[in-house]
Structure 1
Amino acid sequence: MNETWNCTVNSTDVLPDRYRYTLLAMYTVIFVVGISSIALMIDTLKSSRRSVTTMAVLNLIAAHILFLLTVPFRIYFYICCHWDLGSGFCKLISAMIHAHIYIVFIFYIIILVVRYITFFSRRDRLEFYRRVHALAASVAIWVVILVVIFPVTIVEYGSDTKKEKYQCFDYGNALRGKGVTIINYLLCAVLLLVTSLLLAVQLWILGMIYKKYGNTALSHQEFWAQVKSLCFVMVILICFAPYHAFRIYYVTIIFSEADSHLELQWNNEIFLAVTAFSCWDMLIFVNTKRWSSIQSRCAICR
């Protein structure tokens, strides 16, 4: 019994304390702030349900909630330093953070593309013809994710990796397969290229607005609307791009060398944890009026 709960006996080689404490702190903050930021977005539910952007944001919130439900289990592992909830459940929890990255990335692209279209077409918003069409579009996206992609990921993720029963989130050896390596390279390349394209387009649009209004651009709502879009691009750039850039190096080393590279593996876990800070993106939608309302309520409570 003592051996099971002793981190220094069981898993120092697998999970050094400096990484364990860092990951524990990161996921705890991610969970608390992530839940709080989503709670602040309750007003979004009152917006037009036919708006493409609104539906994308609602689906984005759903993706964040699904992921945040798995974070307490990660916190549990980093506190106890062992896993006794089953290997299948470990694969599910471990795969969820990867699924979260690409699901969120898809909805970011939808939100940004819609905002770019409305900017160039000079329209207030893009809307579905009926609410049922918006619902059907959302269902179609989630059917592909949950029925096609996600089950395959769960079945194949870490299927060739043998681990001790107390370990979890330790699937580095699964990257030694040639097919898995190619898929990782493709995913990293696509995300980094799309991110670069989105950043270039966003900066171009901001340049156009500044050229149009000059030094008075800061006083125009059009400028701040595009700053909000820039914030989404920056979330991708800060949270997702570093992980995928490091992932290329990580996969190359794991695939080309026979050693386990545990230090490299846990560095990868740190970069992976950074992607979860994207759960804070709902703070982008919390406008000044909302913050003023929150501050007023806090003042009344005091």
Structure 2
Amino acid sequence: MANPNGLPKDFKTALLVLYIFIFIFGTLNVVLMSCMLQSQRHLSFTKVSVINLIAVHSFFLLTVPFRIYYYASNTGWPLGSDFCKFVSLMIHAHIYLAFIFYVSLLIVRYVELSNQRHKLEFHRTLHATIASATVWLIICGSVFPTISNYGNNQNNRDKHTDSTPCFHFRKALDDHRVKTLNYVLCTLVILVWSVLAFFQVYFLIKVIKAFGKATCQRQEFWAQLKNSVFLLVVFFSFVPYQGFRVYYVSVYDNTTGIPNTTEIPNTKEIRSTEEIHHINEVFLAVTAFSCFDMIVFAGRDVCKLINSRGWFNCL
């Protein structure tokens, strides 16, 4: 049975649990990593990337309580369609901003591990600020205008109501340009991750061949292992959603009908469409698991920080 917000009870409960979990542990992740960065003096590329990741996660986490409220309530969205689009926009901006900083962080680490004599650093804070601002402007300039057009028809239809369903913007896929953009972004994310995974396997094999039985005692191996774990976090957070999104966009016409058609849609097809849309929302929520990235990536350093503060003994 559907709720006033248009979600079946099981999907609504799943999304509510996911976002509560994400908000609690995502906030913990941000706090721990902010404390860790205070002990680092040099303005390295890695540190700048981590600072930007913390900022990306923080801005997104500020919107999560509104999602929790929406899925926990038995009413629609009472905060207006414009704010609904903004909250929806933030999770998409979070995906692509975070992904770019992940890629830059991994590439820099690959370069540094290949040439350990030279550490890549920003010599001035201004340079780091300009580089970071450029990335933010490019992504936000691309994502914001696109998402801002989502749901315009829905807004005009419901502008006089006090509470309406939120995050229902799939009608934007009627525009072939939006569908093409979805295909391009999804393919690009999967392709870039695949290339990074290829190089990661190459570096691991290279280290194992170079040190043989002493591999586990070498710092180079553990650095590469840390990169591998980080790459897995990126994979489980982003790749499933991008892969399902391609399917979701590709079957849209087949399940909802092409605009201006006079054929009456089959009831089973409508149910299938709704279910696919709900599954897409769950995959979208899973992308926010990247908010736990630094706890996994710097697990040993986090343990040292916690232990130094005397919170508990970290084994």
TM-score (norm. length: structure 2): 0.86
3-state SS in 2 of match to 1:15:
coil
The aligned counterpart of 2:49 is 56
CA distance in 2, matches of 1:101, 1:277: 10
**Which residue of 260, 278, 281 maps to 1:269?**
281
Q: 1:70 is paired with a residue of what secondary structure?
A: helix
Q: Which amino acid aligns with 1:134?
A: A
Equivalent-residue separation in structure 1 for 2:280 and 2:249 (angstroms) = 10
The equivalent residue for 2:311 is 298
**Cα deviation digits, residues 33-67 of structure 1 (max 9, x gap):** 01101111112133245211110110011000000
Q: 2:79 aligns with which of 68, 79, 85?
A: 85
In the alignment, structure 1 residue 34 sits paired with structure 2 residue 26: yes
After superposition, the C-alpha distances for 1:68-93 in whole angstroms (9 at most, x for unaligned) are 01100000000014210000000000
**Stretch moving more, 281-290 or 101-110:** 281-290
Structure 2 equivalent of residue 240 of structure 1: 238
The 5 A counterparts of 1:196-235 are 196-235=194-233
The 8 Å contact of residues 49 and 134 in structure 1, kept in 2 or not, is answered as: no
Which one of the candidate residues 151, 164, 167 is aligned to 1:166?
164
The size of the alignment, in residue pairs, is 291
Q: Is the 8 A contact 2:43 2:123 kept in 1?
A: yes
**Residue identity in the other structure for 1:281:** D
Is 1:127 aligned to 2:121, yes or no?
yes
Shift in alpha-carbon separation, 1:53–1:293, aligned structure 2, 3 A: closer
TM-score (norm 1): 0.89
**What is the SS of the residue equivalent to 1:123?**
coil
- For the pair 1:23 / 2:36, whether they are aligned, the reply is no
CA contact (8 A) 1:27 1:71 kept: yes
Large movers: runs of 4+ above 6 Å: none
Which shows bigger deviation, 227-236 or 107-116? 227-236
Q: Which amino acid aligns with 1:54?
A: K
1:104 to 75, 98, 114: 98
User: Which residue, out of 240, 246, 249, partners 2:247?
Assistant: 249
Letter in 2 for 1:276: A
Structure 2 partner of 1:10: 4
Partner Cα distance (2:82, 2:279) in 1: 24
User: Does the aligned pair in 1 maintain the 2:244–2:280 contact within 8 Å?
Assistant: yes
Identical aligned residues as a percent? 41
Q: Cα offset for 1:175?
A: 1.4
Q: Distance in 2 between matches of 1:212 and 1:136?
A: 39
Task: Give the AA of the match of 1:188.
Answer: C
1:137 aligns with 2:152: no
196-205 or 43-52, which deviates more: 43-52
Equivalent residues of 1:161, 1:174 under 8 A apart: no
* SS of corresponding position for 1:190: helix
The CA deviation at 1:222 is 1.0
Distance 1:172 1:289, change over 3 A: closer
Deviation at 1:284, TM superposition (A): 2.9
3-state SS, counterpart of residue 251 of structure 2: helix
Kept in 2, the 8 Å contact 1:55–1:134? The answer is yes
